[in-house]
Structure 1
Amino acid sequence: MAQPDLQRVNIGFIASIVVVATIGGFMFGYDSGVINGTQKGLEAAFELGKLGIGINVGAILVGSSIGAFGAGRLSDAYGRRTVMMGAAVLFLISALLAGGASSSILFIVARIIGGLGVGAASVISPVYISEVTPASIRGRLSSVQQVMIITGLTGAFVANFALARYAGGSTAHFWLGFPAWRWMFWLQALPAAIYFLALLTIPESPRYLVVKGHTERARAVLTKLFGSDEADRKVAEIAASLAADHHKPRLSDLIDKTTGKIRPILWAGIGLAVFQQLVGINVVFYYGATLWEAVGFSEDYALQTNILSGVLSIGACVFTIAFVDKIGRKPLLLIGSAGMAVTLATVAYAFSTAVTAPGGGVSLPGNNGVIALVAANLYVVFFNFSWGPIMWVMLGEMFPNQIRGSGLAVSGFAQWIANAAISVSFPSLAVSPGLAVTYTGYAVFAGISFFFVQAMVKETRGRELEAMEG
């Protein structure tokens, strides 16, 4: 299938669209990562135990699963940009409510609201980007989403570290007499407002416009993106891909009408979404400070370690941007699975040597603390040049036009349910059976994901969205 001449593509306009759309990824990362470093404040303010912390941390994931499931269907009905604007409003409301919460219940409600925005942004930003970019560079532009997610996470880590350092601790009083941990949440309001205003400057997805019968509006957007000749060809291709099935997209499209079974492409999407979480990455992002303090690091050093992980993650994602459209999606997934299995097993070994110090704290003897730190950061690197960005790239491009919204809805829902299961269970699992066994479990899932990719995932590099099958 013919592809647009990159010399005629309006790269500047496409780049600006991608930047705006991926602010949603930044908010996804910031809203998810801000909880890392606030847990002492939550414990003190709401008198929470380990289970209570797990519920308060995991509350965002309840909203995220609902937001991801609903966003795919809502974007088919009302448009990709409209749903992203709704997510920006939810981020703003959540930031203000979470910082001012007077009880655990109110905090949980605030985080669920933020989760609705996170879930929506997590699935709609990648599909929007995939629908406005040329196939030959779609992978690298879609990978920007993961860079922005990690940038958001790192931004939250830096802000938390700075506030805690300046105030004298996360629970110490800061501006206007409020503790620093509350300001960690309130700072989210600024990028949320920027996201909403920036979305007003970008167009709706041309594929959505064609589906809704707004052909001339779609042609105008495509002309600005690719030039007039390419716009006519793309409108015809999109219309042809939908011609075989004129009804509105619906969940039942995910069932193969010939066999009566769920389409294999959906199982592949669900598997990619779930395995991305079963390898335990969000334990690092949500509980990094708590994790490193549990093995003897100070709060200050633990927060600095979070920042290091974030910077390495961004570097790994930049590698993916450079090579994903040359190497392909599937090879990167396989390398990532193998690397994560080895590094997670190494972390598990290091944690298995933990001993109780004379003062009652826990430490890793000899060089095992360094081994754990290096292995954990190598694990983060392997994740972020493979499963981190590639899962979102593939979910945004692998489904045929007719089922893209529905496929994303189900896969995104599965991703956030797995995220919730891992994140909420971690505080208890860290106590019993312990960090060593818990990380061994994540290593096993990483190993299984290698064989899943070999068996179920098909390469999508260089293929036009209208050519996707499943």
Structure 2
Amino acid sequence: MANSEAVAESVDTKKSNVKYIATCTVHASMASLILGYGLGVLIGAALYIKKDLKITDVQLEVLMGVLSLYSVIGSFAAGRTSDWIGRRRTVILTAGIFLAAALLMALSVNYAMLMAGQFVAGVGAGYAIMIPPVYAAEISPPSSRGLMSSLPEVFGCAGVLLGYLSNYAFARLPLYLGWRVMVGVNAVPSVLLAVLVLGMPESPRWLVLKGRLRDARVVLEKITETPEEAAGSLADIKAAAGLPEGVDGDVVTVPKRSGGEEWQVWKDLVFSPSPAMRRILLSALGIHFFQQASGIDAFVLYSPRIFMGAGITDDRRLLGITCALGVTRTLVTLGAMFLLDRVGRRPLLLVSTGGMAVALAGLAAALTITTDRLRPDAEARWANGLAVACTVAYNAAYSAGIGTVAWVYSSEIFPLRERALGCAIGVAFNRAVSGVVGMTFLSLSKAITIGGAFFLYASMTVIAWVFVFTCLPETRGRTLEEMGKLFGMGNTSNVEAQDRDEDCKAVEMPMAN
């Protein structure tokens, strides 16, 4: 009887902890919702912006794609800020940036003001892409980290869908007003995010890095099932942070590394990494590169043009298919979220990239047929259906794997001290590739045809499959402190292995293994 009561109490405690962690992650993920809305709404709003402000196709292409390049600045700033003021306060800062961007864009009276608004939004995008997955990874247990860390991607897809629906809802407003309302609505969730984050706890791993052991212990007791588990987690995190064994107290001094903490992290991660650290960094950069090089932003930014290339010219049909894509991505991402901790990261990535390659090849063939004037109309109509089907299949395959897993994987593989900078570098690289894809798609389509562009994306996705199969280990079920073993780290830190911690040479500093 006593045993059954203990088991029941343990189950209740676990459910309560998971609910608490999920609530915190949902709050942080609202930053992704705001970002997704901004991206989705701009697709439809761009049509009205072009008419109202009388801008050229080149200016429109730059406006659509430059957000990704601006977000590179935001991602690096987010890495530094999150280490400085903490993950929680960085989310609040993100909300403030998005609020300023929404108001600036809604009040724009010319192209220059609009670009200024895009710059602010781009900086916010860098913050929103980087910080929610890191926060989710650092407060989640290994058994549910995939689920929690994928919530930002789910919210991002939902935001894009809301942006599409906003286009439809406000399309009937006067030209000068409609697109301003579309982009200005984003100010509302920005304020809500800032309020909700006030109730979130700080990441226990960041608290340990700052020597605030008592605060970290309090948070760990809320997100673990037992005090013993919380104590064990705290011990592992202390070791990863470089605290000597046996050190305890409410607030302690964390050993500083020679040459300056920030510069030492850059050396360990970029300028003079160990083989294991180099593999971690290349794994993160690789998965981010292939996520964007597969051409997803061509669909996100230019889906109406793609369908027009497939022979679909009716505005209502274009809007309907675009919204269907948004629904597909949201639902499939939601499904993938529950598979990450059951199936694993690698299987989802392999199935995803394989399906994307097939769908892209089919889409490229269909678009080649529909744009070939020598083809008979009957065959062109058949190809139109194939193009739509392959587009839906591609978006489903993307959302089921690499679209979701890339953010989860890159947020969990870096050691504690290098995590913020490593994730920032990964996001910056992701956004840079995204910007290149977004700003070159129209020009690439003119140079090698729209079908040729998608054949190119298909070839990149085949390479992505090979990369995943040969380079990425499975991380499911591992604690963040165990990740280093997967990439060849031993029982000592990357810093100790290269004899760079002269100030701490008397202190044993096991790293995130």
TM normalised by structure 1 equals 0.92
2:350 is matched with 334
- The answer on whether the counterparts of 2:293 and 2:433 sit within 8 Å (CA) in structure 1 is yes
Read off the aligned partner of 1:89 and give its amino acid letter: G
2:395 is matched with 380
Cα RMSD after superposing both structures: 2.2
Shift of 1:258: 7.2
Shift of 1:262: 6.5
- The answer on whether the counterparts of 1:60 and 1:108 sit within 8 Å (CA) in structure 2 is no
Shift of 1:231: 2.1
Structure 2 SS opposite 1:203: coil
Matches of 2:402 and 2:362, distance apart in 1 = 19
Matches of 2:116 and 2:69, distance apart in 1 = 10
* 1:460 is the counterpart of 2:475: yes
Q: Which runs of 5+ in 2 are unaligned?
A: 1-9, 244-254, 488-513
Matches of 1:403 and 1:331, distance apart in 2 = 27
Q: Deviations over 1:415-447 (max 9, x none)?
A: 000000000111222333221011111111111
- The answer on whether the counterparts of 1:62 and 1:112 sit within 8 Å (CA) in structure 2 is no
Shift of 1:243: 2.0
1:193 is matched with 191
Matches of 2:196 and 2:308, distance apart in 1 = 39
Identical counterparts, % of pairs: 29
1:409 is matched with 424
Read off the aligned partner of 2:23 and give its amino acid letter: S
Of the three residues 221, 224, 235, the one matched with 1:223 is 221
Structure 1 SS opposite 2:414: coil
Of the three residues 87, 93, 103, the one matched with 1:86 is 93
Map of 1:169-208 to 2, 5 A cutoff? 172-173=174-175, 178-208=176-206
- The answer on whether the counterparts of 2:268 and 2:274 sit within 8 Å (CA) in structure 1 is no
Matches of 1:30 and 1:224, distance apart in 2 = 32
Identify the range of structure 1 (370-379 vs 40-49) with the bigger mean alpha-carbon deviation. Answer: 40-49
1:345 is matched with 361
Matches of 2:229 and 2:277, distance apart in 1 = 35
1:8 is matched with 13
Shift of 1:141: 1.6
Matches of 1:160 and 1:419, distance apart in 2 = 23
Shift of 1:190: 1.1
Shift of 1:137: 1.0
* 1:287 is the counterpart of 2:276: no
In structure 2, the CA distance between the partners of 1:386 and 1:259, relative to structure 1 (3 Å rule), is closer
* 1:141 is the counterpart of 2:157: no
Shift of 1:255: 4.2
Read off the aligned partner of 2:419 and give its amino acid letter: R
Shift of 1:58: 1.6
2:498 is matched with none
In structure 2, the CA distance between the partners of 1:253 and 1:6, relative to structure 1 (3 Å rule), is farther
1:251 is matched with 266
Read off the aligned partner of 1:52 and give its amino acid letter: Q
Matches of 1:81 and 1:406, distance apart in 2 = 16
1:106 is matched with 113
Identify the range of structure 1 (460-469 vs 425-434) with the bigger mean alpha-carbon deviation. Answer: 425-434
- The answer on whether the counterparts of 2:312 and 2:318 sit within 8 Å (CA) in structure 1 is no
Of the three residues 201, 208, 211, the one matched with 2:209 is 211
- The answer on whether the counterparts of 1:296 and 1:363 sit within 8 Å (CA) in structure 2 is no
Map of 1:36-47 to 2, 5 A cutoff? 36-47=43-54
Matches of 1:32 and 1:84, distance apart in 2 = 19
Read off the aligned partner of 2:47 and give its amino acid letter: K
- The answer on whether the counterparts of 1:398 and 1:468 sit within 8 Å (CA) in structure 2 is yes
* 1:307 is the counterpart of 2:323: yes
1:119 is matched with 126
- The answer on whether the counterparts of 2:208 and 2:241 sit within 8 Å (CA) in structure 1 is no
Matches of 1:363 and 1:401, distance apart in 2 = 59
- Structure ID, larger Rg: 2
Structure 1 SS opposite 2:405: helix
In structure 2, the CA distance between the partners of 1:327 and 1:16, relative to structure 1 (3 Å rule), is same
In structure 2, the CA distance between the partners of 1:135 and 1:363, relative to structure 1 (3 Å rule), is farther
TM normalised by structure 2 equals 0.84
In structure 2, the CA distance between the partners of 1:188 and 1:229, relative to structure 1 (3 Å rule), is same
Shift of 1:261: 9.6
In structure 2, the CA distance between the partners of 1:51 and 1:261, relative to structure 1 (3 Å rule), is farther
2:457 is matched with 442
Map of 1:27-106 to 2, 5 A cutoff? 27-106=34-113
Q: Deviations over 1:345-379 (max 9, x none)?
A: 1110111012489xxxx998221111100110000
Q: Deviations over 1:287-323 (max 9, x none)?
A: 2223323433222221221110111112211221221
Q: Deviations over 1:85-118 (max 9, x none)?
A: 1111111111111122111111111011011111
Matches of 1:363 and 1:207, distance apart in 2 = 61
- The answer on whether the counterparts of 1:273 and 1:411 sit within 8 Å (CA) in structure 2 is yes
Count of aligned pairs: 454
Matches of 1:438 and 1:322, distance apart in 2 = 33
* 1:155 is the counterpart of 2:162: yes
Matches of 1:409 and 1:435, distance apart in 2 = 33
- The answer on whether the counterparts of 2:267 and 2:273 sit within 8 Å (CA) in structure 1 is no
Q: Deviations over 1:101-153 (max 9, x none)?
A: 11111111101101111111111100100111110111112122211110000
Q: Deviations over 1:157-191 (max 9, x none)?
A: 11112211x43xxxx44xxxx43122110111111
Read off the aligned partner of 1:335 and give its amino acid letter: V
Q: Which runs of 5+ in 1 are unaligned?
A: none
Read off the aligned partner of 1:353 and give its amino acid letter: I
In structure 2, the CA distance between the partners of 1:355 and 1:62, relative to structure 1 (3 Å rule), is closer
Read off the aligned partner of 1:326 and give its amino acid letter: R
In structure 2, the CA distance between the partners of 1:49 and 1:29, relative to structure 1 (3 Å rule), is same
Structure 2 SS opposite 1:325: coil
Q: Deviations over 1:183-210 (max 9, x none)?
A: 1101111111111111111011110000
- The answer on whether the counterparts of 2:367 and 2:450 sit within 8 Å (CA) in structure 1 is yes
